[in-house]
Amino acid sequence: MASCGWDSTQPVVASMSAVATGVPAQAGDTFVTAAGTIPPCSNLRVLDSWSLSRRAAQLIVVPVGESHVGGVAPAVQIGAGGIILFGSAAPSNLAAQLGSLVAQAPAGIAPLVMTDEEGGGVQRMANLVGYLPWPATMAATLSPASVRQLTAGVARRMAADGVTVDLAPVLDLASGPGPDAIHTDGPRSFSPAPSLATAYGMAFAQGLLDGGVQPVVKHFPGEGRASANTDYRPGVTPPIASLERQDLIPFEAAVRAGLPIVMVGNDIIPGLTAKPASISPAAINGLLRNQLGFQGLVLTDTLSAAAISALGIGVPQAAESAIAAGADMVLYSSSNPNLTFRLVLDRLVSAVNQGRISVSALNTAVARVLTVKRVNLCPPAVT
């Protein structure tokens, strides 16, 4: 009988290339190439042999400039779960730099390597992998099939350079025309129409999967009609009842399709939560997991946003709140990413030791991260 292959006495190797390569699909196909939900055979007790620090490190994504990714080697050597590339022009030797960096990860479990390749003005490595138009432009000038094909080509080049996760597509609805339009996302959104935003967002996501890169749909539960960009000040969306009629539709489709990762935004949702969704149990465990049934990986938007700091808390406290609320990985920006990583790590370990985050919740979050990395959590089959 075939074995699932977990041997707790041996290191588990999850290389950068161990992501779905994707098989061309037809309209209406489910996203079987996505890696997200923890397999039913998983035995999370195997994580008990890991220190709390090793487990908590897997929940942290460390920012780094793409011109010198080796700068976050200290965090990667401790076991950071991911890195996110920042910049606007990737160096020609990015693949070699990333290869050297991820080789330093403990036990051979490489960090997820993330970037923002949305299209238009939000692209980090277009000089290496090719240019994508703004999502609004794609929806206005291309068919969904063409978007999928275009994105797949870019994704294949991203994967070849060592990138495993793209923080895209944006599934937020554009605010549409009119005197009351907010334009929080502007051309980053495919359309103000839920049906078009869904069709083009799904095509973009499937293209990424076809090319071997895991997509991240964002910014749940929809911030296109919010009152402000939360990077700069607190933002409030329309009431949850309005979101359910419109903005949630693309995210519901993404969950049904089995997409692996959802990014939760930093907006306040009237009728649901008076705190930013990224640190809200009502938004994550309530709406996303229980109501929509999402069991994949939940990633926060940056916890360095003004919408978070306006609460009078720093990144470490926000990270604890996010994980306690049901998130699995946290993002931040910092001029000293290794120091912030240690502060967040210490805060998470302390929260577990003091019972503010349960060991069960920690293990489940780690398991979701490892599942996206294609690390096998299944015990050996009995023969």
255: containing domain: 44-372
Q: Is 189 exposed, middle or buried (0-12, 13-18, 19+ CB in 10 A)?
A: buried
pLDDT value of position 70: 96
Instruction: Enter the DSSP assignment of 140.
Output: H
Reply yes or no: is the peptide bond before residue 221 cis, omega within 30 of 0: yes
Is 31 contained in some domain?
A: no
pLDDT-based confidence at residue 48 (cuts at 50, 70, 90): confident
Q: What's the domain count of the chain?
A: 1
Q: Is residue 377 part of a domain?
A: no
Q: 52-87 burial string, b = 16+ CB within 10 Å, else e?
A: bebbbbbbbbbbbebeebebbbbbbebbbbbbbbeb
Identify the pLDDT of residue 287.
Answer: 98
Domain-located, residue 381:
no
Confidence of residue 28 (pLDDT cuts 50, 70, 90): very low
**Residue 125 is assigned to a structural domain of this protein:** yes
In a domain, 16, yes or no: no
Q: Which residues of 320-350 are buried (b: 16+ CB within 10 A; e: fewer)?
A: bbbbbbbbbbbbbebeebbebbbbbbebbbe
Question: Would strands 297-302 and 165-166 be described as parallel, antiparallel, or unpaired?
Answer: unpaired
**What is the reported pLDDT for 100?**
97
Cis before 194 (ω within 30): no
Where b means 16+ CB within 10 Å and e means fewer, 248-282 reads bbbbbbbbebbbbbbbbbbbbbeebbebbbbbbbb
Whether the pLDDT of residue 81 is over 80: the answer is: yes
The verdict on residue 137 lying in a domain is yes
The pLDDT of residue 372 is above 90: yes
DSSP 177: S
Residue 296 lies in a domain: yes
Of 1-15, 136-150, 212-226, the one with minimum mean pLDDT is: 1-15
Instruction: Please give the distance of CA 373 from its chain centroid, rounded to a whole number.
Output: 12
Q: For residue 243, what are its two tokens?
A: 């979101």
pLDDT per position as a tens digit, 253-278: 999 999 999 999 999 999 999 999 99
Q: What is the largest CA-CA distance in the chain?
A: 68
Q: Is the predicted pLDDT of residue 39 greater than 90, yes or no? A: no
**DSSP character at residue 132:** -
Distance CA 167, CA 55 (A): 23
Specify if 34 maps to a domain: no
CATH number for 162: 3.20.20.300
